Each structure stands twice: as structure tokens, then as C-alpha cells.
Structure 1
Amino acid sequence: MEVTKIIEAIEKSRKIIIHRHVRPDPDAIGSQVGLKALIKNSFPEKEVYAVGEDVQSLTFLAQMDQVSDDAYYGSLVIVCDTANQPRIDDERYDTGKQLIKIDHHPVTDSYGDIEWVSTDASSTSEMIVELVLEAQSRGWALNNNAARLLYAGIVGDTGRFKFPSTTVKTFQYAGELVRYDFDRSGLYDELYQAEEKVLRLSGYILQHFQLSDNGLCVIKLTADLLEKYDVSVEESNQLVQVVADVKGIKAWVFLIEEEDQIRVRIRSKGVIINGIAGKYNGGGHPLASGATVYSWEEGNDLVSDLEKVCREYV
């Protein structure tokens, strides 16, 4: 069983370096640094590092470690919450002695000496809770910080337990985490509070969105619009659910213009959209995916494909 193999690999390793995907969300940070905190609490003598670029909006959860190239020699490398290798933050992930993949996305790229993928899990953070419960009899234990990070990851990827990925197991594992002493109210505030400028852009979206006859909502955030509201591409992440409660909506897509590409975020109420995301340099879950296009014309092609699947969806 992969979980047992991962537990044994961690126990045997003196040095462990943990990666996650670029442009991280709370689950990426929560699973990555939650795993680090879990290992350090269970094995204080081990060297454990979490690497990748810091994202300002998530530094309240954790800040990344700086690791030299030499540190990878003989190390165990674990990649959390990353379906395909091009999205792994820090290209040194394959320079260690052994590589492990822990992920809950559908498999599009099989990699690692040990690969544990559970598409039934709400989040990779949920999988880390499963890992520690499996290893409790061997002396593994969470602490308050690890529980806080893993709880943040579960909350983030389940949309505060609203998304269909939330299962009985999700609630059971969340229940295990809230036994620990951390400020849940403060954590929610940090995860979901927004600056005034982001809320004003949210108001603009709500005033100007259009819902097609097929139930698709398309929101285009041009560079000029982002500049007008002084909202960064990273900050626009907070807006992805703003139209989710519109009556009659089947799916919605944000196209966010950057300097040399257009970032695409797709969400759905039932329409399977990760195949389309895969067609446009992306991927993800059946109801929540991301992609990248390189012109508005290509973006319009993506929208046409979404219109088609929305039209066919009953």
C-alpha cells in the first residue's frame, strides 16, 4: 500500500524536502507545510524543508525555506497537490535520492518512485490527515500548527465544506483537527477577508456579468480593468466564486490577462470541464480546473468549447 511505503520512506530519511505547485492555494500550502510540521513534530532530529516561491496572500499560513542545491543530495523529495510535473514549483524536485507524489487530482502525469493519488479525497490536506492516522501506532503525532495548516487546506479546497468533494471522511478528519488548539475564527478571517479594491472589482463583475442561454458565465478581466481597480492577478484569485450563486448557472470561466498569457479559471455546478482545461494547457478536477491561453482568440475558442458542453449537459 502506497501510504505504508510513504511512511516507511519518511522514517528512513534523514533529510526531506517538500514541494507543491506554482501559484499555490491554501491546500497546496496546507498539505506541504502541514506535512513538514507533522514530520518535525514526530521526528525532531530530521531536516525537513518546504520550498517554493512565497505568495504574499498566503504568508500568514507559512513562509518557504531557502534550500541550496547541495541539500538535495541523498534527500527524500515529496511533491504535494501537483498533478503534472511542469506545475511543480522549483525544478530541483527531481534531483534528490527518492521522489514521492501525494495528490488528489486525476492522474494526467504519472511520476515519482512512489505515487499516492486519491481522487476521492477532498484535498491533499485530507490525505495528509489520513497519513498521520495510519502512522499513529508508530508514534506519529500532529501538533497545533500542523492541524491549523491541514484544516486551512481542507477548508480552502472544499469551499468551507460546500463543494461536492466534501464527504463523511472529510468531516471526520476535520473533526480530528479541531481537537487541537488553534484559532479557527482567525484562520477563516485570514482566508476570506478581502481588501476594499477587490470588493469593488467584485461589484463591477456582479453588475456586468452575462449568463448565456446555455448557463455559461464568462468574465474577462483585462489588464486595463485590473489596473483600474489596482488589483493584481494573484488578488483576483479571491473573485472566482463571486458568481457561483447565480440562479441557472452551470459553469463559469474567468479569463485574466497577464503580460504574456491569459490565465483561465473554470468552475462548474456539474458540467465536466477538466477535459477542456487539458486541451488548453491546463487541467484539474472535473468541476474546478485551470488553463492558460495566449491570445483572446484562443480564449474565445475555449469559451466556445465550454458553451458546447454546457448546452449538452442535463
Structure 2
Amino acid sequence: MIKQIQDAINQYETIIIHRHERPDPDALGSQLGLAEVIKVRFPNKKIFVVGEEEESLAFLGEMDFVSDHEYNEALVIVCDTANTDRIDDKRYDQGAFLIKIDHHPNEEPYGDLHWVDTSYSSTSEMIVEFVEQGKAVGYKLDSASALLLYAGIVGDTGRFRYTNTTPETLQRASLLVKQTFDQNAFYSNLHKKDLKITRLQGYVLQHFSIIENEVGVMRLTKEELEQFNVTSTESSQLVNTFSDVEGLKVWVFFVEDEDKIRVRLRSKGPVINTIAAEHNGGGHPMAAGATAHSWEETEEIVKKLVEACK
């Protein structure tokens, strides 16, 4: 599969890389990291990254402005996105050839070619392996790509604390650390919070609830977000705010956003992506997202989480 992706990259002079909307460090890390790797290998090709900017992760890099005509005869690669509904910038299907690279369950095998492997902690880790297997044909890491891919792995493994951290994950991360990038600066940027986020964090700690000593629940309405001047996307930084409470097995953030309620699910054991799939979502067994269309539906989700803990 990696050889086929290499062949496709060789064939096209314009390559446009997408990822999912409301990006996290892995989405941006794999997108920007792959772009950097290809630029180093093929300095004369036109490599673009597209999607909405995410202010909290702007230190990783900026998106490009890409006109529609650039998609003519272009190779399009989508990173870290399980289904087409979540792809940021809907022109992903306007190119000549489409590749999907992802570590989520392959619920929608879109594209002309898809490399999907759930054994990897992150799509960024997959890109590291792509480079390793491409060394014989000129691919290599540099400090810029190493920082980006490290960010993605750190983000999706919770700084190597989650169960998706395998021996292979640590080996690949070590290849990145060998490159000369400033880890202290990276972590400072990753974990810094605006004052408004810090104040909302305090509010969350005061107002979350625990059901049957095992299920943590937080609901944030549009009015509460407006009170703290925080967007629904920015609130995602707080999903693990109360995760260390003793006895907690699963927790959920419900965040009201326009005409729907975003659902962020996390677990220390019970499988939760099956619940997410029942509510317009999906993800990993221990970390998933969904969408609810009423507060009544959020009650259904909480009941299912309680049952999952049993």
C-alpha cells in the first residue's frame, strides 16, 4: 500500500492534502507533516494543505489558499478522516486521484486508494512509517516534519498515556525525537490556554456531574459558551478536565453548537465508539465523537454509557 502511495505521489505534480474539520493535533500533524515530507523529497512539486484554520493550533502551521483550478489533474490525499462528511473543504473529490490515509475504523472506504490501519496510535504515526519505508527512494525526516508528526502522536496518545501507545509507537516517536526540534517550546504551545479557557475550565470543574459513581457528564449550552466567549471548537480543549476523578470509567462532554449538540466521549475501559455510531458518529473504542439533535437525545446517550459500565 505504501508503495502504491509513493507511485501516486511520483505521478502527480500538484498534491493537495486535506484532513477533518475542527482539527486536533493528529489531523494537523499528519496533514502538515506529510506535506513537509513530500516537499523535502520533491522540492519542485506544488504541495498544498487546505481547511479551516484552528487558532489554538496555529503554531503548527497555516493552511494554503487553493483555487478550484488547482484541483485539475491533482492528487488529493485526505488524512485522519474516517468518513467524507467530516472532510474539511468539500473539494476533496475534484482531483484526478484520491487517497485516504487513516487509523480510524474503515467505516467508509472512500477514494481510489485507501491505507487504513487501526493498529497505529495515530495517522501521524502512519506517516512516520511511510517515511521509514520510503528511505530507499529518498524520503526522510527533518526537524520540521518531525515536530509536526510528534505533535500528532502526542495528541492522540495523550502524551503516551493511552492504551493505544504500543512499543512500535514509542520506537517511531524516538525517530522523531532524534531530529532537532524544541520539545519544551512544543509542549508550552500545546498546553497553553487563554484566560477565557482557564475560567471555563473552572466552571466545568464546578458543574460536571457523576452518574452512579462511574459516568462523568458535562453539558455546555450556547449561552454558557457565549458567557465565557468560547467557541464549541475551543471547548474541546477541556474534554479531559475531570478525567482523573476516582472511580470514573467514562465521561462525556455535550456542547451546544448552532442547531446540534456535539458529543465528545472518552473511556478508561468500556467500549464507547459503538454508542457514538448509534448517534451519527464514530471513532476509537476509548475516544469517540457523535452528534445529538436534542437534549433528550443526550439523556439516551448517558443511559447507554451507564449500561456500558455495567
Residue 137 (structure 1) aligns with? 136
Letter of the structure 2 residue corresponding to residue 63 of structure 1: E
Cα offsets for 1:213-235 (capped at 9, x unmatched): 16111100112222222222122
Residue 97 (structure 1) aligns with? 96
Partners of 1:230 and 1:96 lie apart in 2 by 38
Residue 248 (structure 2) aligns with? 249
Instruction: Name the stretch that deviates more: 224-233 or 289-298.
Output: 224-233
Runs of 4+ in 1 over 4 A off after TM superposition: none
Residue 58 (structure 2) aligns with? 59
Residue 235 (structure 2) aligns with? 236
Runs of 5+ unmatched residues, structure 2: none
Q: What's the offset of the Cα at 1:197?
A: 2.2
1:117 and 2:116 correspond: yes
Partners of 1:227 and 1:23 lie apart in 2 by 19
Q: What's the offset of the Cα at 1:108?
A: 0.9
| Secondary structure class of the residue paired with 2:153 | helix
CA contact (8 A) 2:222 2:256 kept: yes
Residue 265 (structure 1) aligns with? 264
Q: What's the offset of the Cα at 1:283?
A: 0.7
Q: What's the offset of the Cα at 1:206?
A: 1.8
Q: What's the offset of the Cα at 1:209?
A: 2.3
Q: What's the offset of the Cα at 1:100?
A: 0.5
| Secondary structure class of the residue paired with 2:134 | helix
CA contact (8 A) 2:213 2:247 kept: no
Partners of 1:267 and 1:29 lie apart in 2 by 21
Within a 5 Å distance, the mapping from 1:288-307 to structure 2 comes to 288-307=287-306
Partners of 1:219 and 1:240 lie apart in 2 by 9
Q: What's the offset of the Cα at 1:204?
A: 2.1
| Secondary structure class of the residue paired with 2:200 | helix
| Secondary structure class of the residue paired with 1:246 | coil
Q: Percent identity?
A: 54
- Using the size of structure 2 for normalisation, the TM-score is 0.97
Residue 168 (structure 2) aligns with? 169
| Secondary structure class of the residue paired with 1:107 | coil
Letter of the structure 1 residue corresponding to residue 152 of structure 2: G
- Using the size of structure 1 for normalisation, the TM-score is 0.96
Residue 178 (structure 2) aligns with? 179
Q: What's the offset of the Cα at 1:15?
A: 1.1
1:309 and 2:292 correspond: no
CA contact (8 A) 1:214 1:307 kept: no
1:25 and 2:24 correspond: yes
Within a 5 Å distance, the mapping from 1:36-47 to structure 2 comes to 36-47=35-46
Letter of the structure 1 residue corresponding to residue 248 of structure 2: I
CA contact (8 A) 1:14 1:46 kept: yes
Letter of the structure 2 residue corresponding to residue 256 of structure 1: V
Q: Would you say how many aligned residue pairs link Structure 1 and Structure 2?
A: 310
Q: What's the offset of the Cα at 1:196?
A: 2.3
Cα offsets for 1:138-160 (capped at 9, x unmatched): 11112211111111111111111
CA contact (8 A) 1:79 1:101 kept: yes
Residue 84 (structure 1) aligns with? 83
Cα offsets for 1:239-294 (capped at 9, x unmatched): 01111111111100000011211111000001111111111111111100011111
Cα offsets for 1:141-181 (capped at 9, x unmatched): 12211111111111111111111101111111111011112
Runs of 5+ unmatched residues, structure 1: none
Letter of the structure 2 residue corresponding to residue 172 of structure 1: Q
